[in-house]
Structure 1
Amino acid sequence: MTFRTTLLASAATLALAGAAMAEQTALVLFETKGMTTEPRREGMAVLDIDPASPDFGEVLVEYPLPTGTVGHHIFYNPDRTRAYVTSLGSPVLHVFDMTAQPYRRTEIAVPDCVVGEDVAFSPATGRWFLTCMGSSKVIVGDLATDEVEEVWDLPEPWPHGITVREDLGRILVTSTANPAVMGEYGDSVTELDLQTGEVVAVHSTRAAGAEAPSGPVEIFFVPHAEPPVAYVTNIPQGDLWIAEWDPGAEAFAFRQGFDFTALGQGMALEVYFDEENARAYVTTAAPGHVNAFDISDPRNPRHLGAVGTAPGAHHMTFSADGALAFVQNGLMNIDGLNDGSITVVDLAAMESVGSIDTFKEAGFTVNMIEGMPDDPRAHTH
């Protein structure tokens, strides 16, 4: 199986890709659909997402990843010169030099990391932090050299989401799920000291009266919100939680903010913010939606509507003018949640206006979509 357009990273390809970069492109992590399908192939692709381009929906460049990587997330360092790709399948953090053409990939060995998930950065301390959901650790690396400095053990298992607030000297880490036992979930957010990694507090995210664990997965501080506010998504509980910083008490308080299950949605995953910080967009994987919120008052997000996408709605990126969202439909290659399409959503009308099926038609699922380094809306923790 091949893509509609697959170009190798040759000199001729780079000339074509360079011309396309004048339009709009995005990075996509993909792998063979189905966890047991053979032979396997995975990589990072540069995808044309400009609807006005004659190459819209085409793969311009493909960067192969080693079989068994299971590339999961892409995170840019603060100056956007490097892209860190986490691996669910191997104890390696892949780093792409985004200043080189073609991008050059190196590997950081992280032997203490099983199921690498998210990366967060702290320019003030010169470090990055990698969560390892399978080994319940946070790997601390040097932001300049990428050398591993420390390995933190956590009191709560299965860390996944992580976010840093330097002015508070805090890191917040979710306890998500046991990757070795399907259906075994965590139930809390751990608050750590940014400098030492010592535990400051453990916060429950279980809804009042709920018998089952909440399974918090991602956590993001709302940009420019003062006092600080963070949003937390819970997978099995299917809701959005709000963490508010109390300057007087110097402590966080957690509460439920919105219940997606009341709309027939489940598995809340990612949170994105528009450039004006007026809107937040939250994806839910089952059956697949994007939800829009008015966050003019970030402590009380107001639900504006939802758009159906496809099973596994997960990550997003935006068009250059912010009018469109491109929603990647795929969650960990789980059967029924690994559609492999990318839904195009009109954010003003809140409706689906198209689908990029390039990967799906070629027998792949998509694990991540991310804007290019110069995209101000690129996802970050």
Structure 2
Amino acid sequence: MQRYKTTLLAAMTSVLTLAAGGAAAEQTALVLYETKGADQSDRQEGIAFVELDTNEPDYGQILAQIPLPPEFHSHHIFYNPARDKAYVTSLATHELRVFDVSKFPYRWNSVEVADCEVGEDVSFSEAQSKWYLTCMGSSVVIVGDAETDEVLDTVAMPAPWPHGIATNDAIDRQLVTSTANPSDPNEWGEEIVVLQHSNGEILSTHKTSNAPSPSGAGPVEAFFVPGVEPPLAYITNMEGSLWLAEWQTETEEFAFREEFRFDELGQGMTLEVYFNAEGDRAYVTSAMPGHLNAFDITNPRAPEHLWATEAAGGAHHLVFSHDGSRAYVQNSLLNIEGMNDGSISVIDLETGEKIDSIDTFKDAGLTINTIALTPEAEDFHSH
């Protein structure tokens, strides 16, 4: 297996160029990678800087790496609102790795989260100056101080297997999904938990399926649509559907309804929603067999499906090009066979056509767990 190595000088030159604000600053991504497939006897894991600018001679190549312990099983990267810290979650250890990304080389601290089994998503409240970590294996949400990263509280969820979490400070509400049992991948949840995050009070639970219980809908993520009033959230179900949660100002509650069926298009494992900078498009990934879907959200309460383009098995997270014309879709979901292609699909967002595939990791026997632009990049309405 090919091993990519760079000198510290080369790494610093690459990243400091990004920080200086050159064109490449908006085209370079961080990816979490690991050895692909069931054979983990020579396991590799780490964070890689990858060039996405097609005008650069090292397009598609790894510029630098930060190794991670092979037992860590890194999963997601989340920036705090100031984008000076990056939080990397672990599926296997009781820790968050918090990286100072304000200067290179990135240095990290390990935050012990003893009550957390299978760390998934992190959400932030600027109003409360806190972060919230969902723990799918122990069915809790860990609350931490966003300044000191001290753990403040552990909140037990009334519905098991919390995964996705969305925070809206304007209405003092959080939405937490009940997704799947990490010990039994055939057992899926069906509910959204609503919390008042200023005091940690659990207010209600809501089923995101019209089928009899247990429906196995598997709500995986929730995203508030930027700039919409009253607030509106899109919810993805692994079964292959999109639900809406609409804030009711009079009652201060959410109304939930099904909006779209991806399974009718032959798609399953609906995962992520990304919004463009203009706020008139939403892009939704589905991992099986692997697609990117585009919606016109000029009327966000009635999204119109525009097209679906095949990416590759495990289509999951994405980033936008600096001009918003392309999406780079990372193709892998939990290194599951058939959904761990390991490539990055490049999709033209005007035509809906796949125009390239970056196979650097795939060709090296690796797969990618997430992709995020470097913190200096322009911040699109992604998550």
Fold agreement, TM-score > 0.5: yes
Residue 92 (structure 1) aligned with residue 91 (structure 2): no
Match of 1:175?
178
Instruction: List runs of 5+ in structure 2 lacking aligned partners.
Output: none
Q: Does 1:117 align with 2:120?
A: yes
Distance 1:174 1:227 in 2: 21
Q: CA deviation at 1:250?
A: 1.2
Cα distance change, pair 380–78 in 1 and its aligned pair in 2 (3 A): farther
Question: How much has 1:376 moved relative to structure 2?
Answer: 3.4
Partner of 1:2: 2
Contact 1:46/1:62, CA 8 A, preserved across alignment: yes
Instruction: Describe the SS at the equivalent of 1:184.
Output: strand
User: Match of 1:194, as an amino acid?
Assistant: H
The answer to whether the 8 A contact 2:18-2:376 is kept is: no
Cα distance in 2 for partners of 1:348, 1:366 equals 26
Q: Does the CA-based 8 Å contact 1:186-1:216 persist in structure 2?
A: yes
Q: Work out whether residues 113 and 132 of structure 1, in 8 Å CA contact, stay in contact via their aligned partners in 2.
A: yes
Q: Which residue of 2 aligns with 1:345?
A: 347
Counterpart in 2 of 1:315? 317
What is the match of residue 247 of structure 1? 249
Q: Deviations over 1:145-189 (max 9, x none)?
A: 000000111111000000011111111100000000121011100
Q: Distance in 2 between matches of 1:243 and 1:376?
A: 28
User: 1:152 and 1:208 mapped to 2: Cα distance?
Assistant: 29
Query: What is the CA–CA distance in structure 2 between the aligned matches of 1:198 and 1:80, rounded to whole Å?
Result: 28
Where structure 1 has 5 or more consecutive residues not aligned to the other structure, the ranges are none
Whether 1:76 and 2:79 are equivalent positions in the alignment is yes
- The alpha carbon displacement at 1:2 in A equals 2.3
Give 1:38 shift. Answer: 1.4
Query: Match of 1:225?
Result: 228
Question: How big is the shift at 1:36?
Answer: 3.5
Q: Which residue of 1 aligns with 2:188?
A: 185
**2:274 and 2:382 in contact (8 A); partners too:** no
Using the size of structure 2 for normalisation, the TM-score is: 0.96
Residue type of the alignment partner of 2:85: R
| TM-score with structure 1 setting the length | 0.96
Matched, 1:194 2:197: yes
Aligned match of 1:138: 141
Count matched residues.
378
Indicate yes or no: 2:278 matched with 1:280: no
> For residues 320-379 of structure 1, what are the alpha-carbon distances to aligned partners after superposition, in whole Å with 9 as ceiling and x for unaligned?
000010000000011111000000000001000000000000010100000111333457
SS in 2 for 1:19: helix
Matches of 1:165 and 1:151, distance apart in 2: 20
Distance 1:112 1:379, change over 3 A: farther
Quote the offset at 1:208 in angstroms.
4.2
What is the CA–CA distance in structure 1 between the aligned matches of 2:15 and 2:301, rounded to whole Å? 43
Q: 1:371 to 1:16 in 2, by over 3 A?
A: closer
* 2:11 equivalent in structure 1: 13
1:271–1:233 Cα change, 3 Å: same
Please provide the CA RMSD for this pair. 1.4
How far apart in 2 are the matches of 1:138 and 1:11? 40
Question: 1:225, 1:16 → 2: CA distance?
Answer: 38
Sort the Cα spacing of 1:378 and 1:366 in 2 relative to 1 into closer, same or farther, 3 A.
farther
The residue type paired with residue 82 of structure 1 is K
Helix, strand or coil at the partner of 1:183:
strand
C-alpha distance in 2, partners of 1:12/1:222?
A: 39
In structure 1, the partner of 2:131 is 128
Looking at structure 2, the residues matched to 35 and 271 of structure 1 have their Cα atoms a distance apart, in angstroms, of 29
1:298 corresponds to 2:300: yes
Report if aligned partners of 1:371, 1:378 keep a CA contact under 8 Å in 2. no
C-alpha displacement at 1:20, in angstroms? Answer: 5.8
Distance 1:176 1:285 in 2: 15
Q: Which secondary structure does the structure 2 equivalent of 1:99 belong to?
A: coil
